[in-house]
Amino acid sequence: MSVALAAVEAARGYLRAHPEELGRAVRSAFGLRVGVPLAALRWLGRKVEATGKVEGLQIDAAPPGLKIGANLDLMKTPIRASAVIFIDRILFTEEELTLTIRLEEVSLKLNGDSKSPVAMLIQSGALDLKNPGDLVAYLPDRPPILAEARGNRIVLDLMRDPKIGRHPMVRHAVGLLANFMTLKGIEADTAHLDVRFRALPTGFRGAAKAFRTHLVLPSLSRLLPSGR
């Protein structure tokens, strides 16, 4: 069974066991919210575990954030890592797709024998886990979407990913959608991760301009014969 079909079957089973979710989904839609049950995130977590990259993945509510823990291999060092994750700021525009993540209660513990430099740092207590952003800033091979890492905050800008920021069709799609609907916030309660949206963040005039700039004009340019 494909992952998509497995997800559909899992969703059906969850709704049969929790019919109240349908009513919550309707109420959330009127408030421009999408509530993702933590059970769904845990189901996805099991799929991630199946890849062998992490083990013992746990996702728990720590309102308004999530507490996530997992066993993983960090630079050939088996560790148990956990943290409470908060989304402090979201900025989705034509130029930025930015998430500001705050990490609290960060924990790194050895999950086996190791003589690696990372193991020595963990055992010595030399790592400043109150400021995980400072540690991330000095990691080698940092991902391109990492815009800033300082203190206990990490800023990710998806526009820095070449597949998004340098792809004309994706840029037009982002520019169009960001003017009609944008993310307002992400926070958790005891059983759900609520994603809140805001309609027409730039007003009707901004939405009309985005429609012309990112849909009408590109479509016309493809229809018109190119100059020789």
Question: What is the Cβ-side half-sphere exposure of residue 121, based on CA atoms within 13 angstroms?
Answer: 12
Continuous segment of H or E residues that includes residue 30 = helix 20-30
Per-residue pLDDT of the chain (228 residues; tens, 9 = 90+): 566 787 778 888 888 888 888 899 889 988 999 999 999 999 999 988 998 889 999 999 999 999 999 999 888 889 999 999 999 999 988 888 999 999 999 999 998 888 888 888 888 888 889 999 998 888 777 889 999 999 999 999 999 999 888 898 898 999 999 999 999 999 999 999 999 999 999 899 999 999 999 988 888 777 766 554
Query: For residue 155, what are the β-bridge partners?
Result: 100, 148
Q: How far apart are CA 228 and CA 218, in angstroms?
A: 19
Pull the structure tokens for residue 220.
């016309």
- Predicted TM-score (pTM) of this structure: 0.84
Question: Which among 210, 100, 90, 94 has a CA at the least distance from the CA of 159?
Answer: 94
Backbone phi, then psi, for 130, in 5-degree steps? -75, -15
